[in-house]
Every structure is written in C-alpha cells, then in structure tokens.
Amino acid sequence: MAETVYIKAPSGHEEKKRKFRERSFSFLMLSIGIATVAFAVWPLLTWQFVTLPKLTAKVAEFPVPAGKVISQGSVAGTNIQVVQEQDGFSYFVTDFKPEGKRPQEFLVSVPKLEIEKARVKVDAVKFDKNLALFPGSAIPGDLGNSFITGHSILPQFADPKDYKAIFTELPKLEIGDEVLVDLSDKTIRFVVQYSKVVEPDDLSVLGPITQNGRNLTLMTCVPPGTNTKRLVVVSSLL
C-alpha cells in the first residue's frame, strides 16, 4: 500500500508574514548598499561642486604681486623625482643633502584645524609617522619656501592627531588663517595667502614664492581620500 504524505498549506497570515520578511530584508540590503555608496561618493561630490570652486575663487584673489613671483622652474635642491607606489600614491624624492647645520625637527600648529604641535621631520620625504619638510626646503622663518607634506583621508575619518589623516581638512583653510611653528624656543607665525590645486608631478610648488619672501607651504592629496590631485596652501611670515 502506497504511503500518502500530506503537507499543510501555509495560511494566508503566514504567507503574508513570509513575504513581509523577504521584502524587509531586500529593503535593508538595498539601503545598506545606497548608504555605503553615498558614504564614499558624497565627500567627492562636495569637493567637486563646493570646495573646489571656493579654492579657485581664492586664487583669483592672489595677494602676492605677480611681478614679484619667481619663475615656476625654480625649485629647491636638484634631481627631484616623483615616485609612485603600487597603490598609485606618489610623492617627491631627492638625493639632495643640504649643507650647514639644520634642526632635526620642529612643531606645527594650525588652530583652525585643531592641529596642535604636530611633529615635522626636517629633510624627510616620508610622512606616515610625522609631517615632512622636503630636503633642502627653507627652515621656517628663513628666506625661501618651507615645504611641508602630510596625509589626508576621507573627511569622515579626519583626525588632527593621526599623521595618516592630519591634513584631511586642509581645504578649510582660508586667507588670513594662521599656521604656527615652534622652533628654537620661539613661535613663528604665518598667515595663509592662498590655496590652489595642482597635478601630483608639479615640482613648481617646491620653489620660492617671491624673491625675498619667507613662506610656508602645506601640501596634501585631494580630493580627500584619493590621490589624483594635490592641494597646496601657501602662507607667509606674519
């Protein structure tokens, strides 16, 4: 005799509960996907349509007389190259070794960005554990351009105490903001003059700003979280 198996069909109420759970799960996954994309893309859109136009406008208000600007071909040191790592990140390197006695490091503070006494290693090209003053770059307060580089990441993870994220909010600096340097038991004050966006291989940013200027330049990757361009913020001795 054949065995008969009876399966109880789900009730209408149970069927509705099942479909509700399936729709809820699908909606949750969709929401997570949209939120993830927005989390990464929104800062880039903000940079492109809000921050970048403001920076461009500031360059139009260039406060240094054009007649006093040195040729862009003038750079610090010799044999400067652009090195690119496997992840696409690039930075300047050189075998130039400055002569004379120079400090090993100094401290930089940017009040507006809540950066307090960040350590700057002199004549360095690596800046994972500190900021770096490019080899041969002027010591802050001396004649020339003090060129300092630091990292940036997505704005959501900005941290003025983390050297891998310290310059994330550099685009917020405006004309008149202060950059302070603690060196040899004294504080040297610089005031921001302008910001501009350049290509990663633009060596002109290393050079002096004016014939007799005492400037300090801060540079990081932009848009924050990418390394396609570079932002340079130029300040002068107050």
Report pLDDT digits (tens) over 156-172.
889 999 999 999 999 99
Phi-psi region of 80 (alpha: psi -120 to 50; beta: other; left: phi over 0): beta
Q: How far is CA 86 from CA 44, 124, 125, 130, 220, in A?
A: 23, 21, 17, 22, 19
Q: Does residue 230 or residue 41 have the better pLDDT?
A: 230
Burial (0-12, 13-18, 19+ Cβ within 10 Å), 182? middle
Q: Does residue 31 or residue 97 have the better pLDDT?
A: 97
Query: What are the tokens at 231?
Result: 């932002």
Q: Taking the domains of the chain in order of start, what are their residue ranges?
A: 58-237
Please tell me the predicted confidence (pLDDT) of residue 100: 84
Mean pLDDT rounded to a whole number for the chain: 80
d(CA 198, CA 66): 18
Phi, psi of 146 (to 5 degrees): -85, 110
| Stated pTM of the model | 0.75
Query: What are the tokens at 73?
Result: 């071909």
22-76 pLDDT tens trace: 777 676 676 666 655 555 565 666 666 666 676 655 444 444 444 443 333 345 5
Q: Does residue 231 or residue 15 have the better pLDDT?
A: 231
Question: Average pLDDT for residues 121-127, to the nearest whole number?
Answer: 94
CATH architecture of 58-237: Beta Barrel (2.40)
Q: Does residue 153 or residue 75 have the better pLDDT?
A: 153
Q: Does residue 224 or residue 93 have the better pLDDT?
A: 93
Question: Average pLDDT for residues 116-129, to the nearest whole number?
Answer: 95
Q: Does residue 100 or residue 114 have the better pLDDT?
A: 114
Q: How far is CA 142 from CA 8, 109, 216, 237, in A?
A: 88, 18, 10, 9
